[in-house]
Structure 1
Amino acid sequence: MTARSDFLNRVIGDAWDWRSHNCWTFTRLVQRELFGRELPDVDLPEEFSRLWVSREFGRHPERSFWAQIVGTNGIVIAEDGALVLMAHTRFASHIGTWLKTEQRVIHCGKFGVVCEPVLALRQSGYFNLSFFEHVGEFAHG
């Protein structure tokens, strides 16, 4: 097995927890382990709030290091390691990482860490998916 498949086999199924193992901390782990990127930590409120998550995704300084990639007709054209913002409606409240080779998004949620195709995400209610590729120099690390 490759280091990538070893990592994926190790994390898929891990439990989810808003305070310690949430979608952002998991995305940070994936970016560090698979793509060598250090993303910043974020101070979380005590209780989960979709509104808080949506606002943070929209205004966090890290956003300036990522450019949105727009495909046509639902086709994903983003490169491996792109961040995926997910929204049930208009505003994103969840994040994961695009794995181009596997054609899946790895993320963690109420069922733990999962690696799902875009169609499954849409079927589970994430109708609005936005893909962002890293651009420029790293601000962290």
Structure 2
Amino acid sequence: MHWAAAYIGLPWSVHGSGPDSFNCWEFVRMVQARHFGRLLPEIGNPEDMLVMGRTFRDHPERQRWARVDPPMEGDCVLLRRSRHPIHVGIWLDVDGGGVLHCAEGAGVVFQRSDALALNGWAVEGFYRFSP
């Protein structure tokens, strides 16, 4: 069984008040730290999607992430529903590849690209951390 199975179904929370509920960024931060040894910064004000989108785009930490294709296990996946990315998940090499993410209304889910598209998400890009 893949390590990510333990997270499926954990609830979403706008404030990411873990350890039992998360917003998308806090979930990615926790997984990156626990499974890949990467410490990512906090992002404030997750309830404002405009602020979240700008933060994903402009945060100085993003300079440490290189855009890659194809993705590898553990790479971050930026997702968008409009012009700018507003959501993030983690690429997993499971079932042909897909994204583990924590979505409002669903909690932590694993979705392949076809399921992401059915839920209105488009992949903005795959990013790998470079220390």
State how far apart, in whole Å, the 1-side matches of 2:65 and 2:107 are.
Answer: 26
Where structure 1 has 5 or more consecutive residues not aligned to the other structure, the ranges are 71-76
State how far apart, in whole Å, the 2-side matches of 1:106 and 1:100 are.
Answer: 10
Q: Calculate the TM-score normalised by the size of structure 2.
A: 0.86
Where structure 2 has 5 or more consecutive residues not aligned to the other structure, the ranges are 17-21
Aligned structure 1 segments of 4 or more residues deviating by more than 6 angstroms: none
**RMSD over equivalenced CA pairs, Å:** 1.6
Alignment deviations for residues 6-30 of structure 1 (CA, whole Å, 9 cap, x no partner): x423211011001121000000111
1:1-141 aligned at under 5 Å gives the runs 1=1, 5=2, 7-20=3-16, 21-44=22-45, 48-70=47-69, 77-102=70-95, 103-110=97-104, 111-135=106-130, 137=131
Higher fraction of strand: 2
Q: Calculate the TM-score normalised by the size of structure 1.
A: 0.80
Given that 1:85 and 1:131 are in contact with CA atoms closer than 8 Å, whether structure 2 keeps it comes out as yes
Q: What number of residue pairs does the alignment pair up?
A: 124
Bigger Rg over Cα: 1
Identity %: 35
